[in-house]
Amino acid sequence: MARAETRPETWLYPTPRGLFCAPGNFYIDPPAGAERALITHGHADHARAGHKHVLATFETIEIMKVRYGVNCAGQFQIARYGSSETIEGVGVRFVPAGHILGSAQIVLEWAGSRIVVSGDYKRADDPTCAPFELVPCDVFVTEATFALPVFRHGPVTGEIGKLMQSMARQPQRTHLVGAYGLGKSQRVMKLVRLAGYDRPIYLHGAHAALTDLYVRLGQDFGDIRLVSEASAEDLAGALVMCPPSALGDRWSRRFDDPVAGFASGWMRVRGRARQRGVELPLVISDHADWPELIDTIVATGAEDVWVTHGRDDALVHQLGQMGRRARALALIGRDEEAE
């Protein structure tokens, strides 16, 4: 048991400039302009441009460079999964989080206690990234994007099956699948390929650069083409990946009577699908669902759980019922909708 002056909350805490580790003098996933930033993964609400020094996995750094330019940080340092290092006496280790390519939990050790900052994570299989690795700890800092018991995401194969069946049943209609452009889109493409779909997949321009990066980093998606370079005949009946916002945008008018799909954990709730005008909701999430959140937290053995962005109310309540210390950690700038 840590002594009073070294209790975890005295050395890792939220500040207006981000989650701060005082003895190590660094921030985790901070807003722009940190002296030293440790970054869990490449999503824009975690990885930002403009830090002096960035420590992240190779993939995360590459993602940041694609998004913000090669000079988006003063200096980059690669963290390899599993290898430990010390920053001002604080032990630091990056461990796979299973969220997207390059995503990591950051394990911090200082003064006899261990804190795991999960970033975003999931437990379900994902052929585009390393699986989540469980690290026992004293404090687990968890996300809570889908922290309501209504969120139980079924096996992803069933959802991909829905997409394949819909394409088989309506072969003349273009299937637009709205998906977040980093991670989700690539995961869906990979799963569709694994399910045997071998026709070209077309991409909205906004998904091109990051998909190229995935390919450079060794992911194979088969025949990938750009919508902007395709003819109307090519696109009739084709599978097209696009940002969710493009579904209701002028861009989508180029397709004649398309099927609008949306791959997201939010699609578990009908109202969300209706709000978006989605005809083919696909419950595919890159975040832990409710049972995964609870099981993971329990498995870490953490006595203290700090809950970051999402539905902290429900999760804090549930953990309290289970006799654990849990509290909400208000971090600014987290984007609930980006799933």
Partner 1 sequence: MRRFALLLDALSTHAGRLDKLALMHAYFQATPDPDRGWALAALTDGVPLRVAFRRVLGTLMAERIDPVLYKLSRDYVGDTAETVALLWPETPRADGHVVPSLSEIVVILQTCRPRDLEAVMAGLLDRFDATERWAFLKFLGGALRVGVSARLAKTALARLELEPSSSPALSDDARGAHDVGEIEEVWHALKPPYTELFQWLDGCGPRPDTVGVPVFRPLMLATPVEDADWPNLRAEDFAAEWKWDGIRVQIAATQQSVRMYSRTGEDVSATFPEIGSAFAGREVTADGELLVMREGIVRPFNDLQQRLNRKVVSPKLMAEHPAHVRLYDLLMLDGEDLRALPFEQRRQRLEAWHAAAPPAWTDLSAMIAFDSFDSLRQLHVDARAASIEGLMLKRRSSPYLAGRPKGHWFKWKRTALTLDCVLMYAQRGSGKRSSLYSDYTFGVWRAGATGAPELVPVGKAYSGFTDAELKQLDSFIRQNTVETFGPVRSVKAQLVLEVAFDAVQRSSRHKSGVAMRFPRIHRIRWDKPAAEADTLETIVGLIEG
Contact set with partner 1 (CB under 8 A): 148-150, 152, 247-250, 252-253, 257, 260, 268-271, 273-275, 277-281, 311, 313-314, 317-318, 321
> Cα 84 to the chain's mean position, in Å?
23
Is the alpha carbon torsion for 248, 251, 256, 258 positive or negative? negative
Of 37 and 179, the one with the shorter C-beta distance to partner 1 is: 179
Crossing angle between the packed helical segments 184-194 and 208-216, to the nearest 10 degrees: 60
Burial category of 156 from C-beta neighbours within 10 Å (exposed 0-12, middle 13-18, buried 19 and up): buried
Phi first, then psi, for residue 136 (nearest 5°) are -60, 145
Please give the Cα distance from 122 to 289 (Å, whole number). 8
In the complex, minimum distance from the CB of residue 298 to partner 1, in angstroms, rounded to a whole number: 16
The enclosing H or E element of 32 equals none
Of 133 and 279, the one with the shorter C-beta distance to partner 1 is: 279
In the complex, minimum distance from the CB of residue 149 to partner 1, in angstroms, rounded to a whole number: 5
Of 90 and 314, the one with the shorter C-beta distance to partner 1 is: 314
Contact criterion met (CB below 8 Å) for 305 and 297: yes
Please give the Cα distance from 182 to 209 (Å, whole number). 10
In the complex, minimum distance from the CB of residue 276 to partner 1, in angstroms, rounded to a whole number: 9
List the Cα angle 294/308/52 in 5-degree steps: 135
Among 76, 55, 180, 164, smallest CA distance to 128 is for: 180
Of 185 and 318, the one with the shorter C-beta distance to partner 1 is: 318
Please give the Cα distance from 144 to 151 (Å, whole number). 11
In the complex, minimum distance from the CB of residue 257 to partner 1, in angstroms, rounded to a whole number: 8
Of 166 and 219, the one with the shorter C-beta distance to partner 1 is: 166
In the complex, minimum distance from the CB of residue 59 to partner 1, in angstroms, rounded to a whole number: 33
Give strand pairing partners of 36: 53
In the complex, minimum distance from the CB of residue 123 to partner 1, in angstroms, rounded to a whole number: 17
Report which DSSP code applies to 81.
B
In the complex, minimum distance from the CB of residue 127 to partner 1, in angstroms, rounded to a whole number: 25
Structure tokens at 37: 């930033």
Of 26 and 151, the one with the shorter C-beta distance to partner 1 is: 151
Of 138 and 289, the one with the shorter C-beta distance to partner 1 is: 289
Of 78 and 328, the one with the shorter C-beta distance to partner 1 is: 328
Phi first, then psi, for residue 276 (nearest 5°) are -90, -5
Contact criterion met (CB below 8 Å) for 191 and 220: no
In the complex, minimum distance from the CB of residue 79 to partner 1, in angstroms, rounded to a whole number: 36
Of 150 and 330, the one with the shorter C-beta distance to partner 1 is: 150
In the complex, minimum distance from the CB of residue 294 to partner 1, in angstroms, rounded to a whole number: 11
Please give the Cα distance from 94 to 118 (Å, whole number). 10
